[in-house]
Amino acid sequence: MAGAINNTPRSVVTTESRPVRYLLTGLALLFVGLFLVIPLLSVFVEALRQGWKLYLAALVEPDALSAIKLTLLVAVISVPLNLVFGVAAAWAIAKFEFRGKSLLITLIDLPFSVSPVVAGLIYVLLFGAQGWWGPWLSDNDVKVIFAVPGIVLATVFVTFPFVARELIPLMEAQGSDEEQAAMVLGASGWQTFWRVTLPNIKWGLLYGVILANARAMGEFGAVSVVSGHIRGLTNTVPLHVEILYNEYNFVGAFACASILALLALVTLAAKSYVEWRSARLALEDQRNALNDQ
């Protein structure tokens, strides 16, 4: 490792002396350790404080299991929805010119700028008993908020931009030359999409899906507003963690929190892999292009 560093020629831009560089690097590491690594570790330490047995017991407890099931269900519904929408929106925005395009881009960004609590309240205002459609829903015995559909809606809202935001710059950079070539050669719209567009964006797409999934499983604010907090029925894992913590059940709370933390770590690992993989593929493409010349 040290040899590798010594062999690397010092960048011309780096003019700071060695101690200054060490100091800055050390400071950065200290900050990362203090604000990221230690808190994350503390979740696992607290969860395992009273041993594996209690840790596992806290996870297979019926309310915890139903929270985990609900969280997975919400992710399984909302992530594919956003995948389909994100690809469609990004495709429309990046490959075509139409009126209201900038408005559409702004709308896609809206969930990023709106507080999750407001996102939840929007659905309460629409579907709540005192809301616009509340009386009709109640008369027809359709439950939206304080039930699974409301939680899914709120999650779809907050994860809305992830896939589209990831794809738009990528697709814009790629341009539409390849698609046009495919069309000229007689490919149908679907064929163009499946054979040309999708392979080009698949890594970016995967990256967006991973981020959307992480947010879908971890969302607290918006879901808290529309959940109704019925134990074993409408509590997702983040809500369950809060309830257990308020009950002084710290082992249970941190055990469930560790599930979320693990998910975050797996997501990060997947994300790094996708980044590394797509960077390598891009490099290979460049090399191939050079060789062809």
Per rule CB under 8 A, is residue 134 in the interface with other proteins? Answer: yes
Give the H or E element holding residue 17: none
Closer by beta carbon to other proteins, 164 or else 182: 164
Q: Scanning residues 141 to 160, which ones bind other proteins (CB under 8 A)? A: 143, 145-146, 148-149
Q: How many CB atoms lie within 10 A of CB 242?
A: 16
Among 35-43, 100-108, 121-129, 183-191, the segment contacting other proteins (CB under 8 A):
121-129
**Whole-Å CA distances, 59 to 46, 108, 225, 231:** 14, 37, 24, 15
Smallest separation, CB 41 to other proteins (Å): 18
Cβ-Cβ contacts under 8 Å for 226 (sequence gap 6 or more): 120, 123, 124, 145, 146, 150, 151, 153, 154
Q: Which two tokens stand for residue 164?
A: 């589209």
Choose which of 86, 111, 116, 128 interacts with other proteins (CB under 8 A).
Answer: 128
Smallest separation, CB 188 to other proteins (Å): 21
Smallest separation, CB 212 to other proteins (Å): 14
Per rule CB under 8 A, is residue 77 in the interface with other proteins? Answer: yes
Among 179, 191, 206, which Cα is nearest to 86's?
Answer: 206
Among 27, 64, 53, 21, which Cα is nearest to 260's?
Answer: 64
CB 64 within 8 A of CB 251: no
Q: How many CB atoms lie within 10 A of CB 221?
A: 15
Q: Which residue has the tokens 């594919």?
A: 80
Choose which of 11, 15, 246, 291 interacts with other proteins (CB under 8 A).
Answer: 246
Per rule CB under 8 A, is residue 52 in the interface with other proteins? Answer: no
Per rule CB under 8 A, is residue 221 in the interface with other proteins? Answer: no
Among 114, 97, 292, 278, which Cα is nearest to 205's?
Answer: 278
> How far, in Å, CA of 166 to CA of 79, rounded?
14
Smallest separation, CB 206 to other proteins (Å): 16
Per rule CB under 8 A, is residue 73 in the interface with other proteins? Answer: yes
Choose which of 40, 183, 228, 267 interacts with other proteins (CB under 8 A).
Answer: 228
Closer by beta carbon to other proteins, 170 or else 244: 244
Q: Which residue has the tokens 């809202």?
A: 157
Per rule CB under 8 A, is residue 138 in the interface with other proteins? Answer: yes
Choose which of 84, 88, 117, 181 interacts with other proteins (CB under 8 A).
Answer: 84
Closer by beta carbon to other proteins, 123 or else 207: 123
CB 246 within 8 A of CB 182: no
Binding residues for other proteins, rule CB under 8 A, total 35
Smallest separation, CB 229 to other proteins (Å): 5
Q: Which residues bind other proteins (CB under 8 A)?
A: 66, 69-70, 73, 76-77, 80-81, 83-84, 124, 127-131, 134, 138, 143, 145-146, 148-149, 228-233, 243, 245-248, 250
